Amino acid sequence: MKIDPSSPADLSVQIAAAIRDAIVSGQLIVDQRLPSEAELCAQFDVGRTTVREALKRLAAQSLIRTQRGATGGAFVNRLSFEEAYSQQITTSTLLLSMNAVSFETACEARYALERACAPLSAIRRSADHLATMRAEIHRQGQPGLTDEAFCASDVAFHRALVDGAGNPVMSYQLAGAVEAMQPLMNMITFTARSRERIIALHSRIADALEAQTAPETEAALSELEGYTLTLGRDVMARRAQARAAP
């Protein structure tokens, strides 16, 4: 692990990159302790501030964790699925909010990915997953439910569908789609949507999964996509109209 003090890049960036490479390439393995800050200072011939900033960069990416005290230090962190989920959700949320992604594009991606779970979920969904879905459907039907709560329940429903596929890698990959895009869509469509219709489609999905019929699940998801898309376009059109004649 070496750095170039004459490089224009910040030293802390270079040090972080060097350590990251060592982790990714397997030179440093999970739970292994990194040298102490003082040792890293000596190794890279830099001040402690610089080493610390490099370590904070890595900590921000969940690559390491630090512990204070006598036997403390920085340790290579086992990246858990949970941490990866939440990172993906933040990244997806920002990506969508900062890049002018059209409603159509986000909607298309979200449902295409979710349909990919349908065949697996139809085979593997457990009673637990079905129970979660039914419970969320029931909650969605309760009068007086706020829009926020309905949206959260909506996310939980789709989450159960995705998790039903019993593939943690897919659940991770879809975290962004479900937990970042769904709220975004809800935010756009909540004024216009019919809860009844959504609940009916959710029920159809749950029924299809219970019957383990993948094509029907996919069909219901496609219909939900179509409905969401129509809603989105309606809202957009209304907004454009409002802007044109205020």
Site residues (vs its own copies, CB under 8 A): 12, 16, 20, 23-24, 26, 30, 49, 52-53, 56-61, 63, 78-81, 84, 87-88, 90-99, 101, 105-106, 108-110, 112-113, 115-117, 119-120, 165, 167-170, 172-174, 176-177, 181
The two tokens of residue 158 are 């789709």
Closest by CA to 103, choosing from 236, 238, 240, 242, is 236
Residue 67's binding partner, choosing from DNA, its own copies, none, with beta-carbon cut-off 5 to 8 A by kind?
Answer: DNA
Contacts 24+ apart (CB under 8 A), 94-97: 96/180, 96/181, 96/184, 97/184
DSSP 139: H
Q: Any long-range contacts for 28-33 (C-beta under 8 Å, 24+ apart)?
A: 28/76, 29/76, 30/76, 30/77, 30/78, 31/75, 31/76, 31/78, 32/75, 32/76, 33/73, 33/74, 33/75
Binding residue for DNA, selected from 27, 60, 72, 142, defined by CB under 7 A:
72
Least CB distance to its own copies at residue 107 (A): 9
Using rule CB under 7 A, residue 68 touches DNA: yes
| Residue among 27, 31, 32, 48 that touches DNA (CB under 7 A) | 48
Q: Give yes or no for a contact between 185 and 71, defined as CB atoms under 8 angstroms apart.
A: no
**C-alpha to C-alpha distance for 96 and 102, rounded to whole angstroms:** 9
Indicate the SS3 state at residue 31: coil
Residue range at the interface with DNA (CB under 7 A); choices 44-52, 138-146, 152-160, 167-175: 44-52
Can residue 31 be called a binding residue for DNA (CB under 7 A)? no
Length of the chain: 246
Residue placing its CB nearer to its own copies in the complex, 101 or 229: 101
Which position among 43, 62, 66, 212 is part of the footprint of DNA (CB under 7 A)? 66
Q: Which residues between 153 and 212 bind DNA (CB under 7 A)?
A: none
Which among 10-18, 109-117, 119-127, 164-172 is the span making contact with DNA, rule CB under 7 A?
10-18
Answer yes or no: are the C-beta atoms of 215 and 115 closer than 8 Å.
no
- Say whether residue 70 binds DNA (CB under 7 A): yes
Q: Choose the contact partner of 46 out of DNA, its own copies, none; CB within 5 to 8 A by kind.
A: DNA
Place of tokens 């779970």: 117
Work out what residue 176 binds among its own copies, DNA, none; the CB cut-off runs from 5 to 8 Å by kind.
its own copies
Residues that bind DNA (CB under 7 A): 8, 10-12, 34, 36-38, 41, 45-50, 52-53, 55, 66-74
